[in-house]
Each structure stands twice: as C-alpha cells, then as structure tokens.
Structure 1
Amino acid sequence: MAAVTQVLRSEWTKIKSVRSTVWTLGIAVVVTVGLGVLICILVSNDFDSMSVRDRLTFDATNVSFAGMGLGQLAMIVFGVLVVSNEYSTGMIRTSLAAVPQRVTFLFCKLLVATLLVFVVGMATSFVTFFAGQAVLGDHRAHLGDPGVLRAVIGGGLYMTLIALFSMAVAAMLRSPMLSLGILMPFFFLISNILGNVSATRKVGRYLPDQAGQKVMQVVAPADNDVPYGPWGGLGIMIAWVAVALICGFVLLKKRDA
C-alpha cells in the first residue's frame, strides 16, 4: 500500500509540473463555458423566430453544453499528453524501472489523471449550466426540473470519460502524434459523418461520443429514434472506455518499454 501511495504522489507531481497538461485543462474550461454562453445568447435572441416545433422541443439545458464539442478537444489532448509524454521523452524507461509492476504504474497514472479530470469536468459542467441559463432569461431551465440535474452531472461524467478513453488509446499507441492523429479525426470527422449520413446513422449512434452525449439531453428531439436513453448512452460510452483500458493494460504488460 505504501508503494501505491508513493506512485500516486509521483504521478500527481508529474501532472502538475508539466505546464501543457495544466494549460490544457484550463482551455477546456474556458472553451466549454465561453462557447456555451455565446450560443445561449444567440439562441435567446432568436427564440421568437423559431418554429413552433423547435420551441416545443427546445432543450435549454443541452443548449448550455453547446461548447462541449470543442471542450472535449482539450480533454482529448490532456488525456493523450498525460500518458504519452513519457514515451516521447524516453522517461518511460526510468518510470518502469522505478515501478516494475506495470499494471500498478498505469493504474496509478490513470487514477490520478481521472480524478483530476472528474473534478474539473464536474465544476465545468455546473458552471456552464448556470452561466448558460443566466443568459437564456425566461427560457432557462432550473436545476430542480426533471432530468436537469442528471444532465449536468452527466456533462461532467462525459468529459471525464472522453479524457479516460484518450488515455487508454495513448497507452495502446504510445505516440502523442499517432494518438491525436487517430482520435481527432475519429471524434470530429468520422463520428459526425457516420451520425449524419442516413445510411450509417444507426452505426454512428453507438460511437462513444454520440452515445455519451445522450446523457446531457433533457428534451428528446422530435425525430428521435435512438433505442436507448440517457443512462443507456452513457453505458455504451463506458463500455468503449472499458475495452480501450483493457487493451492498454494488456499491451503495456506484454511490450517492451
């Protein structure tokens, strides 16, 4: 237990001493909150010009999370940097020499980073919600409304899972450039294409980001035909993360540093 505690302290020191990881989390907060407020302002100004159908399905809570798409970009970068920085600098050999138990090493690294992202993600989600609702005025939602608290908590969980998934991919690929080169197109190009093309929409809805974002919805879209609910979508995302983590641990244990 003492050894695990020391590894946890070491991993915490690594994270807070690397400026790029700290700045990346800060950018995630600023982008998510700032863009969310901006979108809420625009929606509030244009609300009266919306169609009756759009007004009836208006999701004030989900609108405040409009900046989450870009915010997750910073979370992906953070997750990749946390794991792959040591590979790019060659420090991974020193780390594994100090902690020969590779499973313990990776577990402690992921645990510290995940707890940090969880705190930041939850704080960001609540701040984003309250800031967005403040500018929506009469169209705002309240935290006590049905499904709203679940959506806000889900926003924090979504950010945490995105970062953890990125850490797992980085553990498999070991290269920051390769990891980002796969994750960025996957989330910002492939996922959008599969989710918006009618022929592949049924496949796209089971991708981690599209499934996970369901938990932030309070009002279902009018054309909603997704066969799972908010927690079901989060469960699908968790399954993706679990598979990636298992692969990351297995590969770390089998490969040379």
Structure 2
Amino acid sequence: MAASQVLRSEWTKIRSVSSTVWTLSLAAVVTIALGILISLLSKNEFDRMSVKDRLSFDPTFISFAGMSLGQLAMIVFGVLVVSNEYSTGMIRTSLAAVPQRGMFLSGKITVAAVLALVVGLVTSFVAFFLGQAALGPHRASIGDPGVLRAVIGGGLYMTLIAVFSMGVATMLRSPMLSLGILMPFFFLISNILGAVSATKKVGRYLPDQAGSKIMQVVTPLGDDTPYGPWGGFGIMVLWVIAALLGGYALLKKRDA
C-alpha cells in the first residue's frame, strides 16, 4: 500500500471513531474555559498580590492554566488513536493491509499529530486572546516579546503530549493500562516530583514540566531551571522520540 493510501486510511479511522473527536473537543473546551476562569480570578486578586508575585506575574502563562486538565484529554486522544485497533482486534486487519509496520505506525502518527496540532494551535490562540480579555488591564499583547512564541508553543505542547501518548500506547497496546500509567503520571506524580525539594531537580526534566517552559514569558523569581523555553521544548521532544522508538521497536518485534 502506498504512503498516501495509508494516510487516507488512518484519517478515515480517526474521524469515524466518535470518541477521538470528542476527546479533542474536550481538550479545547477545558483548556479555554479553565484559562478564562483562572484569568478572571487573577485579575481580581492582582491588587492583593505581594511584590514578588507581581514581579513574577505572567499573563500569557496564566491564560494557559487550563492546559493542565486539557492535556489529559489529549492523552486520551493519543491512547485511543492507537489502542482502539487493539481492543477491537482490527489491528490484525490493518497490519495485513500494511505489512510494513514502520509505514503503518508513521502514517497513524502523522495523521493524528497533524490533527492534534491544528486543534492545539486553535485552542492555544483562543485561550490566549480570551484569557487576556479576562485579565483586563493586566493583559499581555500578542506582539509583546516572547508572547507569540509562547502561544504557538502551547499548540506544540498539546501536540507532543498526544504523540507521546501514542508512543506509550503502542508499547503497551492496552488502553486501560496506558491510561492507568499516563493519567496519574501527568496529573499527580509529575506535580509531586516538581513540588518536593528533594526531587525538584529530577522533576524538571519530565516531559510536561520541561515542555511547559515554552509557554512561559516571564521567569518566576528564584527559578533556577538550567534551561529556557526552547531547551525545555527540546527535552520534551527527546521524550517523545524515545516513546515512538520504543513503540516502533515493540511493534516490529511482536505479533499483532
């Protein structure tokens, strides 16, 4: 099967499964809605903030406050794109039609990544503009230094979260096992490791903590992170590559 046919086939699979469409929609709605809410709260609390908090105030990053929950929906999307075929047994048919497993996996990842990127960029820009409107006099402008990079970075971050999840799901094959590992990892474990002083230096190299740096414009006071926005983004890319390579290695090695 030609590469173009594989891409069309994967596109058909994704749009024909309602759960994948709903998870992308949920990712956008949650990210935008929570970002507006946190921006409104931040506006009302600004006058009561300490001098340190005001100096660290990052209106752009605040509008992405909903990303912490929105990324969970992107994780579900990435897992479902891969594991739906395993749970239904359709993987055997797919691999029979496309025996070149590298082409099969790359086609699936390409289609899902492009879709996640489109949704991620739209979500990021909408969350930014509505969040800044909610912040009122404390808002940032898209033309301010570093802001456009942060907004585009928000879309890239959501995309990489989905692709990383696809790599993990390819390795594990089971949707329940994949979600059972990824959800607690991103929602609890990573936050705990990043908050505890003994593990903070390790936590900053986890994919979500490193990748989220791309969305920051103002560096918080006392932040001694040894990398900047693009350095953190690069660390996240390495995590994604590792997950994809692991997924491909196992997909190539084992039976469907």
Q: TM-score, normalised by structure 1?
A: 0.99
Paired position in structure 1 for 2:204: 205
User: Given the alignment of the two structures, is residue 106 of structure 1 paired with residue 93 of structure 2, yes or no?
Assistant: no
Q: Distance in 2 between matches of 1:116 and 1:156?
A: 11
Q: Distance in 2 between matches of 1:95 and 1:88?
A: 13
Q: How does 1:65-84 map to 2 (within 5 A)?
A: 65-84=64-83
Q: Give the drift of 1:135.
A: 1.0
Aligned length: 256
User: Given the alignment of the two structures, is residue 89 of structure 1 paired with residue 88 of structure 2, yes or no?
Assistant: yes
**Counterpart AA for 2:124:** S
Paired position in structure 2 for 1:217: 216
Paired position in structure 2 for 1:119: 118
Q: Distance in 1 between matches of 2:37 and 2:188?
A: 24
Paired position in structure 1 for 2:136: 137
**Counterpart AA for 2:69:** L
Q: Distance in 2 between matches of 1:96 and 1:55?
A: 56
Percent identity, aligned pairs only, is: 76
Give deviations 1:116-157, integer Å, cap 9, x for gaps: 000000010000000000111110000010110110011000
User: Given the alignment of the two structures, is residue 17 of structure 1 paired with residue 16 of structure 2, yes or no?
Assistant: yes
Q: Give the drift of 1:85.
A: 0.4
Paired position in structure 2 for 1:51: 50
Q: Distance in 1 between matches of 2:227 and 2:133?
A: 31
Q: Distance in 2 between matches of 1:104 and 1:55?
A: 51
Q: TM-score, normalised by structure 2?
A: 0.99
After TM superposition, which residue ranges in structure 1, 4 or more long, deviate above 3 angstroms? none
Q: Give the drift of 1:57.
A: 1.4
Q: Distance in 2 between matches of 1:129 and 1:145?
A: 13
- Matched residue of 1:100: which SS? coil
- Matched residue of 1:206: which SS? coil
Give deviations 1:179-198, integer Å, cap 9, x for gaps: 00110111111111110110
Unaligned runs of 5+ in 1: none
Q: Distance in 1 between matches of 2:46 and 2:164?
A: 36
Unaligned runs of 5+ in 2: none
